[in-house]
Amino acid sequence: VAALMKNSGVLFANDVNPDRCQAVVGNFHRLGVVNVILLSKDGRKIPSMHLNLDRVLLDAPCSGTGVISNDQSVKQSRDIKDVLRTAHLQKELILAAIDSCRPGGTVVYSTCSLLVSENEDVVQYALNNRKVRLVSTGLDFGDSGFKKFKHYKFHPSMSLTRRYYPHVHNVDGFFVAKLEKI
């Protein structure tokens, strides 16, 4: 992100885990990144900082079902309670990301999960609870997100989201949505 910004403007990077924050500092130095402010806060508390951001990238904590082929422990270490707890946290985080944005700003929501409950359902929750709309991700490959899945029914614009499958796209499984704050 810093490279895309050409080291101009201000880039806020946040991870609730201080150890991961510390680990990334070396990368910033090695890559010559000078425009970053590193935070280690609960992302749900970021709106209280009144940052009025232009763009937010929320790489949300998730079940990791899209990376099972790389991490077999995901199969054994997750149960339905974990998924429900994570989906609840994701809903809180996406609302906080939107609340941290200025009107006209964008939020990109991504997970390495293939579960509808962590992807389309979270985005639908944001559409229902904040003044936002889905816009094109600008990604020209990947499958469209689901507009309907089992008992779920989503907004027609959910087709603007993108799903990536290991067996189809030769990448880890993940999901991407881009929301614009109205």
Residue 82 among known ligand-binding residues: no
CB 32 within 8 A of CB 39: no
Q: Give the span between the Cα atoms of 152 and 118, in whole angstroms.
A: 12
Residue 16 one-letter amino acid? V
Q: Choose the catalytic residue: 21, 62, 101, 112.
A: 112
Q: Is 19 labeled as ligand-binding?
A: no
Structure tokens at 5: 């910004």
21 is a catalytic site residue: no
Within 37-144, where are the H helices?
73-77, 80-99, 120-129
Dihedral angle over CA of 165, 167, 170, 171, nearest 10:
40
Q: Which two tokens stand for residue 143?
A: 């499958």
The answer on whether 99 is annotated among ligand-binding residues is no
Helix, strand, coil fractions of the chain, as percent rounded to 5:
40, 25, 35
Residues forming the active site: 112
Residue numbering of the annotated binding site for S-adenosyl-L-methionine = 15, 42, 59
Residue numbering of the annotated binding site = 15, 42, 59
